[in-house]
């Protein structure tokens, strides 16, 4: 599986939006996305931006939860501070509040991709 930086940013934003800065993903609710989401949460965990735990049953991931760490908050604050046009971040956050399900439409949304590209390839 390839790393999707836009999805990683979306996960961090979703965590920040949540009142407890955590998410719970259940295979019943997200049967097509749980493995992809878990892969990216593990990458965010390796970077220190989230902590996570999971439950397996019948050799399948059944549920996992993740929580934003202090380093994750610091990263999002740094991104906001460095971003010249904070409206892009605001639009990305607004996009996340429109739907409750993780969908391919949300993941490849042009605003998320554009925002992520601006982080990866900032103009000089």
Instruction: Render pLDDT for 3-57 as a digit per residue (tens, 0 to 9).
Output: 998 889 889 999 998 888 888 998 888 888 899 999 999 999 999 999 999 999 8
What tens digit of pLDDT does each residue of 2-13 get?
Answer: 999 888 988 999
Q: Can you list the domains of the chain with their CATH numbers? A: 5-119 (1.10.10)
Cα–Cα distance, 26 to 13 (Å, whole number): 19
Are 40 and 82 in contact, with CB atoms under 8 Å apart? no
pLDDT greater than 60 at residue 58? yes
Beta-ladder partners of 65: 24, 53
């Amino acid at each position: 599986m390839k790393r999707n930086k836009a999805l990683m940013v979306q996960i961090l934003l979703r965590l920040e939006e949540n009142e407890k800065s955590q998410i719970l993903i259940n295979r019943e609710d997200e049967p097509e996305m749980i493995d992809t989401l878990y892969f990216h949460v593990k990458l965010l965990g390796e970077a220190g931006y989230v902590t996570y735990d999971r439950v397996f049953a019948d050799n399948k991931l059944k549920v996992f939860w993740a929580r934003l760490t202090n380093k994750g908050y610091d990263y999002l604050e740094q991104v906001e501070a460095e971003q010249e046009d904070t409206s892009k971040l605001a639009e990305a956050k607004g996009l996340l509040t429109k739907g409750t399900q993780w969908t391919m439409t949300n993941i490849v949304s042009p605003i998320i991709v554009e925002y992520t590209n601006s982080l990866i390839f900032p103009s000089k």
